[in-house]
Amino acid sequence: MTLRSLVTATAVAGIALCTAFQAPAAAGGAPIKIGAIFATSGPASNLGSPEANTMLMLVERMNAKGGIDGHKIILLLRDSKSDPQQALSLARQLIEEEKVFAIIGPSTSGETMKIKQLCNDERTILISCAAAEDITNPVAPWVFTTAQKDALAVRRIFETMRSLKLTRIAVASSNTGFGKAGRTQLEKLAPEYGIRIAADEVYEKEATDLTGLLTKIKAADVQAVVNWSIEPAQAILAKNMRQIGLTIPLFQSHGFANIRYAKAAGAAAEGILFPSGRLVVAEALPANNRQKPVLMEYKKEYETEYREDASTFGGHVYDALMLLSAAVTAAPDLDRDKVRAALESIGGYVGIGGIFTLSPTDHAGLDENAFAMLTVKGGKFVPYTGK
Partner 1 sequence: MPLSLLLQYLFSGITAGGIYAVIAIGFNIIYNATGIINFAQGEFAMLGGMIAISFTAFMPLPAAIACAILVTAALGGVLEFVFIRRMKNPTVIQMIIVTIGLSILLREAALHIWDEKVHSLPYFTGNEISSIRLFGACISPQVLWVLGTCGAVVVSLSLFFAHTPAGRAMRACSADRIGAMLCGINARNMVTLSFMISAAIGALAGCVVSPITATTYDCGMPLAVKGFTVAIIGGLGNSTGAVAAGLLLGIVEALCLAVMPMAFRDVVVIAILLAVLSFKPSGLFGNAASQGQKEF
Q: Give the footprint of partner 1 on this chain (CB under 8 A).
A: 1-3, 40-43, 45-46, 49, 175, 201-204, 206, 208-209, 211-216, 218-219, 232, 235-236, 238-239, 242-245, 260-261, 264-269
Instruction: Output the smallest distance, CB 283 to partner 1, in A.
Output: 24
Percent of the chain as helix, strand, coil, to the nearest 5:
50, 20, 35
Q: Which is nearer to partner 1, 154 or 268 (CB)?
A: 268
For the beta sheet containing 273-276, the strands, ordered from the edge strand earlier in sequence to the opposite edge, are 196-203, 168-174, 224-228, 250-252, 273-276, 372-377, 380-383
Q: Which is nearer to partner 1, 264 or 326 (CB)?
A: 264
Q: Which is nearer to partner 1, 244 or 248 (CB)?
A: 244
Name beta bridge partners: 144. 127
Instruction: Output the smallest distance, CB 142 to partner 1, in A.
Output: 30
Instruction: Output the smallest distance, CB 128 to partner 1, in A.
Output: 21
**For the chain, what's the residue count?**
387
Instruction: Output the smallest distance, CB 322 to partner 1, in A.
Output: 26
Instruction: Output the smallest distance, CB 46 to partner 1, in A.
Output: 7
Q: Which is nearer to partner 1, 314 or 353 (CB)?
A: 314
Q: Which is nearer to partner 1, 40 or 160 (CB)?
A: 40
Q: Which backbone phi and psi does 140 adopt, to 5 degrees? A: -105, 130
By three-state DSSP, how is residue 277 classified? coil
Q: Which is nearer to partner 1, 42 or 141 (CB)?
A: 42
Instruction: Output the smallest distance, CB 315 to partner 1, in A.
Output: 19
The C-alpha atoms of residue 68 and residue 324 are separated, in whole angstroms, by 9
Buried/exposed 332-371: b ≥16 CB within 10 Å, e otherwise: eebeeeebbebbbebeebbbbbbbbebeeebbbbbebebb
